[in-house]
Amino acid sequence: MIPIYREKEIYTMFYDSKQNKLYRYAHREKSSFLYILLFIIIINSSGLLNQIYQPYKGFLLNIILLIISNFVCYFVAKYLYSRYYIQTTGKGIFLDQESMKEYARKGEEQYYLELNLGGGICLFVVVIGFTLFCIFNQIQFLIIGSLGSIPLFMIFLNKPFRRLQVLRAFQNKEIEL
């Protein structure tokens, strides 16, 4: 399923290319407190992790930790992405071509905002965090880079290239529902 349009934090409209249907999934309510608490725990525990890491630091261990952190971040991103939508609320919706064209236009604006701003900032954090980790051998930088990679993986889980193709096809009225 390809995300087409998001209405604030209320719902997201998806296109199922196999069944040629639109679905609307409600968003779960987020607990900002939980995310802040988790962030504080991770940052505070990074000092302990760094003490464990320091006697063994080295190039090979850094590469292994980068690979492991990316695997972990991918699965965290996949879990968060799947939990963001209330799967049982998926409702098939029907729109006329003009309405769909307008949703696709707005969806493309959202797409570029997500990709350019969100992806750009996260990529910057990942590059800086992982580079500083390799230079200074401090676990805190690995954690910062990893926290930036989770949203990047979530962007890739949205199938960005296929998403843009579908959005443009709706705008050009190449897809009929």
* Model confidence, pTM: 0.86
Q: Which helix (H) or strand (E) holds 37?
A: helix 32-53
Does residue 85 belong to any structural domain of this protein? Answer: yes
Q: Are strands 11-16 and 91-93 parallel, antiparallel or unpaired?
A: unpaired
* Residue pLDDT tens, the chain, 177 long: 899 999 988 888 999 889 888 888 888 876 667 778 888 888 888 889 999 999 999 999 999 999 999 999 999 999 888 888 766 666 678 888 888 999 999 999 999 999 999 999 999 999 999 999 999 999 999 999 999 999 999 999 999 999 999 999 999 989 887
Q: Which helix (H) or strand (E) holds 152?
A: helix 139-157
Q: Looking at residue 38, what is its pLDDT?
A: 80
Domain count, the chain: 1
Type of residue numbered 110: Q
Q: Looking at residue 86, what is its pLDDT?
A: 67
CA angle 12, 14, 15 (to 5 degrees): 160
Does residue 121 belong to any structural domain of this protein? Answer: yes
Does residue 177 belong to any structural domain of this protein? Answer: no
Q: Looking at residue 109, what is its pLDDT?
A: 96
For residue 146, CA distances in Å to 62, 67, 69 come to: 13, 10, 6
Does residue 79 belong to any structural domain of this protein? Answer: yes
Q: Looking at residue 133, what is its pLDDT?
A: 97
Q: Looking at residue 27, what is its pLDDT?
A: 85
Does residue 18 belong to any structural domain of this protein? Answer: yes
Full residue range of the structural domain in which residue 93 is found: 2-172
Tokens of 151: 């949203």
Does residue 75 belong to any structural domain of this protein? Answer: yes
Q: Looking at residue 87, what is its pLDDT?
A: 67
Q: Looking at residue 122, what is its pLDDT?
A: 95
Does residue 60 belong to any structural domain of this protein? Answer: yes
